[in-house]
Structure formats: structure tokens, C-alpha cells
A and B are shown apart, each in its own frame.
Chain A
């Protein structure tokens, strides 16, 4: 399969904190890659670097053969990368359909309004909000807003979708539904790079997992390989030398 996204040695520092440290990763066409790591590992910063919220201080980001390093978010979106944010911020006074229409207007294609609305309508239906097209986005439940965020991102007709904790705050039934939706999106030919705290879900969805710790890549492999990696276990369960400290004192 051909490489869609190639991240080569990107770094970002905030004051004294090396948030992302020479990170490299690739996403192939049609793949689901899970990006995991303990709190503060730098996962969301990686997303911010890829979609241009800030430029990396070193390294390159190549998407579908084009160097997009340092391009601002609206131009990255035009290249075909869409992002569903962890903290959803719909335009509360606009309808569900209009929110997604905005997404379609500023997505991969420069669609005229009528066409944008048709794309948006299709995505809203696909995501299961078809019966709430004309409701104000602000009236949706958390689960509804999460779906809307995904529909808005999909309305940009991306080739790569960045999913930042789309399962957070969903109940078990909604989680299962969202997992099915993610599978459906991939089946439609869109590659996915996802951050998720619900480990059962990300382990079952991902083809490969990249583990971040302190901004750097700690491990990479199939979910099984990663779950059995001693370095990964140590990163999640803590430094075992502290156990000795407990016994000495």
C-alpha cells in the first residue's frame, strides 16, 4: 500500500518542555493508526503539528507527495486532512446541516454552497444524525455533538482523518455505534490517525499502534506487539523501581 502521510523527525518545544521529540511515523492509504501514550505524552501536539496549528521546529511533514510542513490549518484542510477535535466546538446557533456545510466549503474541494450542502447532508446521514439536520447544533447531547464533529470533518471529504478522542464521554452503546462508524469511514477509503483513551477500542480498531512517551516514539507495532512490549507496560504502569522505594522506607 502506498504512503499517504509521512512525518519525518518533527519536534516542538513549549518553554522547558520538549512536547514532541524527533517523531517519525507514516500512515498508508486506507490504514487506521492508533496514537497512544500516557497523559502528557504529546499526542494532541502531534495533531496540532500535522494540521498546522503551529509549525514544527524541525522535521518535515509530507502528505500525498506534497510537503505541507508549516502550512496553516486552512491550507492543510485543502490538501485533504480533516480533524475531529477532542473538545467539540460546534457553531451552536447554526443547524447541524449548516455546521457541516461550513466544513464542506472549507474542505479538500472549493465547493459552491449548493454542492457543499449536498455533501454535508450525505455525511450527516451517514453519521446517523439525519433526523436532526435542522436542529441547532447547541441543542444536541454530548454524544450528538461528537457525531456532529465527525460529520463536519467528513464533510471536508478528507483523504486522511485525524480523530482526537471521538469516544470520550460516550456511553457503552454510543461507543459501539461510534466504533462501527469509524470502521465504515475506513471502508470508504479514508485513512485514519486516531488518539483514544479507551484502550479496548483503539486496540481493536487499529492496524498499527504508535506509542508516544515524553514526546518521543516509545514503540510501534500491531496492537498485540505493543501491549506485550515491556517499555510500553512500564510507561503505563509506572516505574517499577519505585516499588523498591516502597519496600526500603
Chain B
């Protein structure tokens, strides 16, 4: 296996007195696309929050590029290249496309490479360049998702963590975004994908982790996981 870029060990996390994660572990290899799957309420978003630092893990470790980053705040993680594209996009809807992209380049490291990244992003998404002065809030769902990914790229990610790529989007739009992810992967961006469409996630990714009730359930190369009856069990309980 190639270099492990992100390693999560025995992560425990939750909200107030409610514990959601009971020992999640996963490894993301550099350059690979890894997917984290599980039914509603299994703990996928909570895992991402604990990894990116918007909630504090109660136990376990997050190791990124060889450094223990478990307790670092989100901005320090972004500065190191650990970047989240959040569920529901969370764009600045009153800002223009280009202003949103500037917000993505907030860290010192990214700010220095702003021009270069902007060119890269506009090459990848010509539509964003055409509409660079348009307010993000006027975009369609698919365009917003595109902008959210682009904003993530402006942070110069070592790993791009995407929470729900296809949710609420039409199949034709999803297909375009899939093309984008594949292009990113070819360009060497490491991706950790949370995706409600299991078939899509397994077809796109190299390696899958399936969690249930805040615990590891099964894992393996996607082709193997796709063939396992346990995948249904993880979602339907039987």
C-alpha cells in the first residue's frame, strides 16, 4: 500500500452527553479515493467533524501526514491541507463566485498560491469563470456543489473530504461532478468521500469503510465490499 496520508484510530466523539462514535478507524492512502459509507445516523458526518476539528474527539487519534492533529482547530488543519467540502455546500450566498473562491484561499499557504489555484480551478470549471461575478446564492444546486468543490480546491488540499456529493442533485449533474472527481484524482488529489448513493461511491472509489451505529462494520477494496451481503445489513439491519 502506498503512503498513508490520513489515519484515524479508534475515534470516539459525540454531542453533549450523547456519544455517536464508538471507535472509528480508517486509513486513506495518498492519491486514492476512499469512501465512508453507512446508513442515516451511522456517524458519517460526525466522523468528518471529528476529523476536521469542528468537534473535539473524546478518544482516539487523527494523524495527518505523519503528524498527530487530533486536537488542532479546523483552521490549522485547513492550513495543513486537510480540507472539507461540507454537506449542503455552505457557500456565502451573498458573495460572488470569485469572492467565495477567495474565502477558500484564506490560509497563508493558499493565499500565496491564489492566482495559480484560481487558474487551475477555472480550467477545471470554465462555467465558474464565466460567472465569476455572479452571486453564489443564485446558482443551481449542481453549480453550487461545483463551487463548493472549487472553494475546497482553493485551500490547496492535500486531501479533499467531501460530505455528500450527489445529495439532491439530478443524475446528469452528478455525472458531471463524477467527471470532475476523476479529473482531480488523476491530478493526484487524495479524496475521502461520504456519499449517500452506495453504488456510486463504490463505483468511484478504491477502498470503502462501512460503519453502522457509530462502529466499524466492514471494509475492503470497493469491488469486494460491493459483493458482500453485509452492505445491505449495514443499511437495513437484516
Residues of A within 8 A of B (CB): 38-39, 141-143, 168-169, 171-172, 197-204, 223-224, 226-227, 232-233, 236-243, 245-249
Contacts and interface: CB of A to CB of B under 8 A. Distances in A.
A33 to B, nearest CB: 16
Given A200-B213, A238-B197, A243-B203, A249 B237 contact: no
Given A142-B17, A242-B197, A237 B232 contact: yes
A232 to B, nearest CB: 7
B199 A238 contact: yes
Nearest to B200: A242
5 contacts: A227-B236, A227-B238, A232-B236, A242-B199, A246-B203
A228 to B, nearest CB: 8
B175 A249 contact: yes
Interface in B194-227: 196-200, 202-204, 212-213
B73 interface: no
B198 A237 contact: yes
Contact of A236 (B16, B174, B203, B235): B235
Nearest to A141: B17
Contact of A243 (B196, B200, B212, B213): B200
Contacts of B176: 249
B186 interface: no
Nearest to B168: A40
B178 interface: yes
B13 to A, nearest CB: 13
A233 B237 CA distance: 11
A243 B223 CA distance: 12
Contacts, number: 91
B182 interface: yes
B19 interface: yes
B179 interface: yes
Given A237-B231, A246-B200, 19 more contacts: A39-B40, A171-B19, A172-B22, A197-B39, A197-B41, A199-B237, A202-B237, A203-B237, A236-B235, A236-B236, A237-B232, A242-B174, A243-B203, A245-B174, A245-B175, A246-B203, A249-B175, A249-B178, A249-B179
B178 A245 contact: yes
A169 B18 contact: yes
A170 B86 CA distance: 26
B199 A199 contact: no
Given A39-B40, A246-B204, A248-B175, A142 B18 contact: yes
Residue among B175, B182, B197, B238 with the highest chain A CB neighbour number at 10 A: B238
B100 interface: no
A223 to B, nearest CB: 6
B166 interface: yes
B236 A238 contact: no
B17 to A, nearest CB: 5
A238 B200 contact: yes
B44 to A, nearest CB: 12
A197 B232 contact: no
Nearest to B196: A238
A247 B203 contact: yes
B236 A239 contact: no
Contacts of B174: 242, 245
Nearest to B226: A243
Contacts of B199: 237-240, 242-243
